[in-house]
Amino acid sequence: ETGVTQTPRHLVMGMTNKKSLKCEQHLGHNAMYWYKQSAKKPLELMFVYSLEERVENNSVPSRFSPECPNSSHLFLHLHTLQPEDSALYLCASSQRTGDNEQFFGPGTRLTVL
Amino acid sequence: QKEVEQDPGPLSVPEGAIVSLNCTYSNSAFQYFMWYRQYSRKGPELLMYTYSSGNKEDGRFTAQVDKSSKYISLFIRDSQPSDSATYLCAIAPNAGGTSYGKLTFGQGTILTVHP
């Protein structure tokens, strides 16, 4: 595997379910990010991790819970989501925290019923 | 007022056409300007990165920045069907290395180049 990978690519869940999104970067980068991409809206930064430490939580509801066990892996734990949370969730990484060149994974298309 | 405004299109052009994609921004503190390209079912990838006002060319692509007007453009010459994608402008206040990657993205313009 190369670059940034994300699993699953598609996820359908009910509002009472608990699920997790996984991201892995194979680039040796030190920073990882979660973004939300909704139709007709700009990319929204959700969380930033630098060397496994969360450095930014962009006013994201607590039903989204990130976890970064090491510098290569990033998870987004989901519980009691709402239909408006349906979106494409993108993971990205960069060499240093705050770098403008970020490398994105293909995303997880999430549908909340 | 949104920090970055980008016409979402969609934009449809014939192969070989010159394409112009544009964004405006409101805060003069933004100093770094990027264009990301996103193919269907893929994540965005960095296409062009510029700092100063003026033009930066890379093959068929030219990024143009006018800081006085707070206006950035991406031109694609001799457009190809393989250029069909969503183009996202992104702006940042600094070069990076701060505590977080605070890129501000435009909405994205959907471009289709038909043969």
Contacts of A97 in chain B (CB under 8 A): 96-101
Answer whether residue A96 shows pLDDT above 70: yes
Q: How many residues does chain B have?
A: 115
Answer whether residue B29 shows pLDDT above 90: no
Percent of chain A with pLDDT over 70: 99
Q: Cis peptide before B10, with omega less than 30 degrees from 0?
A: yes
Residue B98: pLDDT band (50, 70, 90) is low
Q: Does B97 touch chain A (CB under 8 A)?
A: yes
Contacts of B4 in chain A (CB under 8 A): 42
| CB-based contact B100 A92, cutoff 8 Å | no
Contacts of A94 in chain B (CB under 8 A): 96, 101
Task: Select from A47, A100, A109 the residue whose CB has the most chain B CBs within 10 Å, as the one to mutate to test that interface.
Answer: A100
CA distance B114 to chain A (A): 23
In this prediction, residue B97 carries a pLDDT of 54
pLDDT by residue (tens digit) across B53-68?
A: 889 999 999 999 999 9
Cα–Cα dist B69/B90, whole Å: 16
Selecting from B34, B43, B44 the residue whose C-beta is nearest the C-beta of A100 gives: B34
Cα–Cα dist A67/A49, whole Å: 9
In this prediction, residue B99 carries a pLDDT of 46
Cα–Cα dist A23/A7, whole Å: 7
pLDDT by residue (tens digit) across B41-97?
A: 999 999 999 987 889 999 999 999 999 999 999 999 999 999 999 999 999 887 665
The tokens describing B55, both together, are 């033009």
pLDDT by residue (tens digit) across A45-68?
A: 999 998 877 777 778 999 999 999
Percent of chain B with pLDDT over 70: 94
Q: How many residues does chain A have?
A: 113
| CB-based contact B44 A104, cutoff 8 Å | yes
The tokens describing B61, both together, are 């692509």
Cα–Cα dist B50/A47, whole Å: 25
Name the residue with tokens 């068929």.
B60
Question: What amino acid occupies position B106?
Answer: G
Residue B100: pLDDT band (50, 70, 90) is low
| CB-based contact B104 A42, cutoff 8 Å | yes
Do residues A85 and A59 lie in contact, with contact meaning Cβ atoms separated by under 8 Å? no
Cα–Cα dist B75/B62, whole Å: 5
| CB-based contact B104 A55, cutoff 8 Å | no
Answer left, alpha or beta for residue B27, where phi above 0 means left and psi between -120 and 50 means alpha.
beta
